[in-house]
Every structure is written in structure tokens, then in C-alpha cells.
Amino acid sequence: MDTFSYLGQGFGVALSPYNLFTALCGTLIGTIVGLLPGLGPINGVALLIPIAFALGLPPETALILLAAVYLGCEYGGRISSILLNIPGEASAVMTTLDGYPLARQGKAGIALSISAWSSFVGGLMATCGVVIFAPLLAKWAVAFGPAEYFVLMVFAIVCLAGMAGNKPMKTAIAACIGLFLSCVGIDSNSGVYRFTFGSLGLADGIQFVVLVLGLFSVSEILVLLERTHHGQKAIEAKGRMLFSLKEGLSVLASNLRSGAVGFFLGILPGAGATLASAVAYMSEKRLAVKDNTFGNGDLRGLAAPETANSASACGSMVPMLTLGVPGSGTTAVMLGALTLYNITPGPLLFRDQPDIVWGLIASLFVANIMLIVMNVPMIKVFTKILAVPYWALVPAIAIITSIGVYAVHATAFDLFLMIGIGIAGYILRKMDFPLSAILLGFILGGLMEQNLRRALSISDGNLGILFASPITWGVWSLVALMIVLPIWRTWRTWRKRAQQKAQLANA
């Protein structure tokens, strides 16, 4: 059966009335979660996992729900960015640079509609990319053994630091913290208690829902509490609500370029939508040298990050499904959801459970269409939701977060652990450590340990197995490149500054 036959089978799953209703609920919830500061896609997906599991949803339906929430959050994050200059999530930070100036110019409706269109284009391009490249990567990934998987996960960890802009060292430290946290609990091989400090509550390890909600929700609550709110109100979307054909054509090239950038960075483990939106924005800014109005309400500056973050969200499904390696923090949470259903992601998933894989891929098309149809008519509704003050928003986030954690094991220990992790996460945020790197390190840590042990068992303890195949040599080369890249970038920045100082001294 070829790819398009499988895709047709997937649409049969995604277009069933039950799954259509699930996708509709997911897109609506995701949009609302995305526009509210303090939640975002990781929290939205994490909060719904125990609910989906408790409701007894089939695995394909649960994945469709979580994917719809993920895409909805990428759409919703732009709303508060444009209207209030408050990014609903990290990937929407770049949207504020030109989105908010457009709103201040009285073009809020145009900005919201063109950002929704850009998100749709990015999501559609990336989903087509998933259809084309995911099966090819799955066939290639069959050649991966435990050694290859271990090296691939080392590459994923190194990618975090290599692509972390001006703070690679902090990102590497954060990823190592995540790796350490993944070691907490009983060793599955020897039965030894590791880093539990005599606590039975840590015997089963740290649950990923507890870690996610502690790192992101609790720390965000603390950030919101320290802010002083001066009664800033949402800017009403007045005048023309839809962009014109001329405006749409003016950003079309930016849409296409940014969609390709977003998809490519999405399939790289650890890159994520935040990096994709930043790279796309800076790339378009460099191309617009002659008529550069970026930062002052340029439609291209709005379209580029919105296209890229939606493309990255869809693209991050590729490594999750084909290699079992999360492409972003949110897909790391979704990877945890698969384990709740005893589903092992990887190349064999395409062969053994095609309904789940292709139903999920087909639902990405469906969710993107739902979101573009839903978002433009509901602009005024969203602006009313944004008027919720922090004194009401913070308790709501706290209640939702506590319910999400307590639903996992129904123990008070998890609640206290979540609060402790949240306080630590808040301190790390103040020190400018990326929390998503901790989460990815945590998810990959267990997988790295399992595959390293399997590889060493096969080789009778010989570490040479990690360098024994062409695939491992190729991935190790990429690891070396990602280590050298930030060092070279730092040296280049230092050299440029030294030259500037020398020029000033000579002048």
C-alpha cells in the first residue's frame, strides 16, 4: 500500500464524527490556552493527557486531541502578542515585534487575519512535508539499532546547545539537569534506589506531568505574581477585519520561505517553534534591506514567525513518530502520552499501527482548516477573554494545574513535588536558563540509558559498538559540528567586537 492509500485510510479515521468533534474541541481549547499568558502548548497538552486517559479515549483519538491542542496553541499565541504585546507562549515572542505596532496603528484586524492565514499556510506546507518525508525516514530508521539510537539522542541533546543562540552553555546545563532528573527512581535492571533520598514518593521516579506543570505552570504563576499590572486593556479590532489581496500577495514569498525554514527546524530534535520563528524573522529581515520597516509594523515581519512556528509544530511530529525522539518540548509531552497507551513510537509504528500514525497526520490537515475557519470570526470574542485580570488568571492556572497533577496518582506528594520543581524552575528562569531543555533532557534521558545498556549488552561491554556503523559515524560527525558551531560563533562575535574597538581606538 503506497503513501496516498495510507493517507486515505488516515482520513477515514480523522473524519469519523467522533474524531472530528474531538479535533474541534482540541482546536478551540488550544486557541484559548495559547492566547492566555502562562499556559502555552506544553501545559495545554500536559493538562489534557490525564483527562484523555481518564475518559478512556482510544489512542488515535487521544493523539488527535493533543495534536489539535498543539496547533491551536500555535494559532492562539499570536492573539495576545498582537493585541497586548504579551506573548501567549515563547514561540510568539517574535510576533510581538511587528504585530503589536500594527495593532497600535489601528490595523489589529488585518494583523490578526494575516497571522491566521500565515499559520494556516505554514501548517499546510509542513503537513504535506510530513506526508512525504515521514514514511521515507521511517524506512531509513529501520536500520537503527540501540547504538544508533543512543548516538542520535546525544545529537538531540547537543542540538539544544548548538542552536541556543547566545546561551549555549546554559542550555547544555539545563539539558544535563533534565538527564539527572531522569535517573531518579528505581533502576529497572538492578532494583537499586537512585537519588530518592529515602523517599518512597520518588521510588517510581518523577512523573513527566509533574515535571512539566511544575517547570512551566507553577514558575509562570510566580512570574505573573511578581509583575505589576497597570490595567492595560486589550486593543479592540476596529475597521477592516480581513487583509486585502494585495497584502496577502506581499507576504506570500515570506510565507513560502518561512514555511520551509519552520519545517526543516521542526524535524531537528530539540529545535522547536521558538527557534524557527526567530530564524525565519531574522532571515526575512536580512532580505528586506532596501525597504526594511521591520519592527515598525511590517506585514512580512508578522507573517514570517507565524508561518514558521506553525510549520515547526507540524514538522516536529516527524522525529517523534519515526525515531521516537521529540522534536520539541510539546512533542516530548506527547511522547509521554504514547507511553501511557503502551505505544512505542518509531519506524515499526508505521507498519504495526498505521491507523494511529496516518489518522494523526490526516488530523493535522483537518485541524488547520478548522483553525483558519474558526479564528477570524472569533477575534472579538478573544479580545474579551484577554481582558481577564491577573488576579483571576493566576488562581485559575493554579487550580487547573493542581487538578492535572493530582489526577495522575492522586497523591499529595506529587503536588508538593510540583511546587518544589516550580520554585526551582522560577529561579532558573530568572537566571535565564531555558526550561524546555530540562524537559527534553528528562524525556531523552531514560531512552538514552535504555539504548546504551542494550548496545553494551550486545557488544559485551565494548564501547566500540557506538562507532561501529556508518550511521553512527555520520551522527557523531553532526554532534561534532553542533559542538564546534557555537564555539565558532562566539569567536566570530569576539573578533568583530575586537575589530570595532580597534577602529574606535584608531579614530
In the chain, the amino acid numbered 69 is V
Q: What is the pLDDT of residues 31-84, one digit of tens each?
A: 887 776 556 677 778 778 777 877 778 888 888 888 888 888 878 777 777 776
Q: What is the pLDDT of residues 258-283, one digit of tens each?
A: 888 888 777 766 556 666 777 787 77
Which residue did the predictor score with more confidence, 447 or 62?
62
Q: What is the chain's mean pLDDT, rounded?
A: 77
Q: How far apart are CA 254 and CA 252, in angstroms?
A: 5
Strands 185-186, 193-194: pairing is: antiparallel
Q: How far apart are CA 45 and CA 217, in angstroms?
A: 12
Contacts of 412 (CB under 8 A, 6+ apart): none
Q: What is the pLDDT of residues 478-503, one digit of tens each?
A: 888 877 777 777 788 788 888 887 77
Q: How far apart are CA 232 and CA 430, in angstroms?
A: 24
Tell me if the pTM is above 0.75: no
The torsion angles phi and psi of 147, rounded to 5 degrees, stand at -65, -45
- CA distances 18 to 6, 45, 57, 124, 362, Å, are 20, 19, 10, 23, 15
Confidence band (pLDDT; 50, 70, 90) for 309?
confident
- Dihedral sign of CA atoms 212, 26, 263, 301 in order: negative
Q: Is 194 helix (H, G, I), strand (E, B) or coil?
A: strand
